[in-house]
Amino acid sequence: MTNFILNITSAEDDLMISSQEIQCYTLNSDIDFNALKEIVSKLIKNEKIVLLHGNNALELCNKLNVDGIITDLTSSKNIKKDIESIRQKIGRMTLGIICRNRRHEAMIVSENEPDFIIFKVWHDGQDKTVELTKWYNEFFLLQIAIMPQEDNVALDSYLADIMILTPEAYKIFVAKK
């Protein structure tokens, strides 16, 4: 069964807290700090898992007492060193890594043991990303998350443990089922 992470990009996004299917949220760390603090408090009160992503995620994760972060290493020149640095700052918090949709980068990320790996997906090139997730599932035990970058991605094509969706994309996905 696929798990969902709701990707909250603004303070106005619908949190859908009452949904039992959504147990984890990723919040854009660029949201106004006071609004972010309020959202985190509301989610924690409702026993949800809270991750941060974006420019200020590392800086804010301990201040907001969240469960972890998602970080984008698609432009990293030294994935191993970057993951080690992040781990030193967040300790045992949950770590999701966005990596390039390439086997080599996926292997390097996996060797450094994040909690899950994330592949961004677009409609163009979707066949290659579907093939990448199938290959990855055959060789690695880490969970895979996909993060659509467009509305017209065929989500059912992926062998992913996790889908990271905006509230709007989640509503559309559930309505189609």
Domains of the chain: 3-176 (3.20.20.70)
| Phi, then psi, of 7 in degrees rounded to 5 | -90, 105
pTM for the complete prediction? 0.93
**11 close to 33: Cβ distance less than 8 angstroms:** no
**40 close to 52: Cβ distance less than 8 angstroms:** no
- Name 101's Cβ contacts closer than 8 Å, sequence gap at least 6: 119, 120, 121, 125, 128, 129, 132
In the three-class reduction of DSSP (H, G, I as helix; E, B as strand; rest coil), residue 139 is classed as helix
Report which of 105, 64, 67, 63 is spatially closest to residue 83, judged by C-alpha positions.
105
**Is a pLDDT exceeding 90 seen at residue 123?**
no
The model's pLDDT over 21-75, given as tens digits with 9 standing for 90+, comes to: 999 999 999 999 999 999 999 999 999 999 999 999 999 999 999 999 999 999 9
Measured between alpha carbons, how far is 102 from 55 in angstroms, rounded to an integer?
24
> What number of CA atoms fall less than 13 Å from residue 113's CA on the CB side?
5
Q: At residue 120, what is the residue type? A: K
The model's pLDDT over 80-101, given as tens digits with 9 standing for 90+, comes to: 999 999 999 999 999 999 999 9
Q: How confident is the model at residue 135 (pLDDT cuts 50, 70, 90)?
A: very high
The H or E element containing residue 26 is strand 22-28
In the three-class reduction of DSSP (H, G, I as helix; E, B as strand; rest coil), residue 80 is classed as helix
Give CA 104 to chain center in angstroms: 20
CA distances in angstroms from 66 to 41, 93, 162, listed in the order given: 9, 8, 19
156-159-160-165 Cα dihedral, nearest 10 degrees:
-20
Structure tokens at 18: 């009452």
The model's pLDDT over 1-10, given as tens digits with 9 standing for 90+, comes to: 689 999 999 9
